Structure 1
Amino acid sequence: MAALHGRTALVTGAARGIGLAIGERLAQAGAHLVVHDRDAAAAEQALAQLHGAGLSASPLIADLAEPAAPARMREVLEAEGHLPDILVLCASVETRETWDKLSEDAMAAQTEINLHATVRLIQAFLPGMVARGFGRIIAIGSVQEARPNPTHFYYAATKAAQTNMILNLARTLRAPDVTCNIIQPGAILTDRNRAVLTDPAYESIVLGRIPLARLGSARDCAGVALLLCSEEGAYINGAEIAVDGGLRL
């Protein structure tokens, strides 16, 4: 796999889970990792882990629920000399509510982060990628797009809409060496869903739907992200890549 030396990767929601796993893998390949999160303490813990492994990384604390946050993030990174060549859209809000219990607050939060922040981040960082002649945008979607659970009624819809935006860019951008793709994780054992997925009764149901008969780990998503960012993945554009053990089938 070709190294990413000289590249900068901004991964949103990178203090833990899939974001951290992807960020760590890109840093291992030589990229400078910008660890974005709204939780400063968690970001510092992630940075300690990364620096302890000899990897290049810096923090970027911002709340994507604030409309002006992406523009401020760009200003900070430009001042630091860390404008990203790679943007991984991992930060999201996932509220488990059925259609009949769906609250206004849940709809607003998921819309703001999963959709509005996606647009603002693309507007902040994609023009620079196009101007420099290299860019990778990766959105972290969800198996919920293909097989939405009733408890993820609105979350699944926002992820499907996010994927539509990324595919629109992939088709219409027409910028050489700037690609836009989606990774769609399945049942991945992260802090956010650990309590649900380790409940014996629910775990049994989930495993029964997965052909590989095991839960995934955050690291299962990292290799795909590295491929999409590398020279070997330069001709992959507009792909929806499931990392779900076959759960979508």
Structure 2
Amino acid sequence: MKKIVVLTGAGMSAESGINTFRDANGLWEGHDVMEVASPEGFKRNPKLVLDFYNQRRRQLLTVKPNSGHKALADLEKKYDITIITQNVDDLHERAGSTDVIHLHGELLKSRSITNENEIYECKNDINVGDLCPNNTQLRPHIVWFGEAVPMLDKAAQITTSADILIIIGTSMQVYPAASLINYVKSGIPIYFIDPKPAINANDFNNLTVIAEKATKGVKILVDNYL
């Protein structure tokens, strides 16, 4: 059974109603990203940061996986699939994908501010004063700017085993996630799905660009290439 590794970004979930990370002027929902997505921002104003993620979490619970998510899950019938996602939502899992690596954390989990390995399921708001069992403040289980990406080594190792690499809905500008394309074996097929592709067919050997949004692009991929 061939090994397919899928790297997904914000464009994968945009058609489900999840807002992309930040707009052209660098703001995220009207906030400077460093105010709501950095350890320094959390120290300065923990209530602002917690409220920001509380809103994102509430929104996530109202949306559903789209046809692109479901099509990737269906591929498990024919292939050994690992999805490596930059997204913090659980839409891949809800669509039925069983092997998902979250590079940037998970919105429906919380963790201790003093121990990144002390992680809890979380579907409700987190407020200032909400403590974990070791009596320290809870925070979203999100990898913020300036923090290590603990799942990166595992993701890189899995990418080296790919027989096919599929990249969907990412600008390929966010590092270290964007570097994963460099870990695939030379000559394997690479498919890049994005309406505004940041790489082109001359950048890599055996690269096929599908310049479409995720839902349409995944259907084209499945119908014509897999």
TM range (shorter): 0.3 to 0.5
Greater relative contact order structure (CA < 8 Å, 6+ sep): 2
Q: Which has the higher helix share?
A: 1
Q: Which has the higher strand share?
A: 2
TM-score in terms of structure 1 length: 0.41
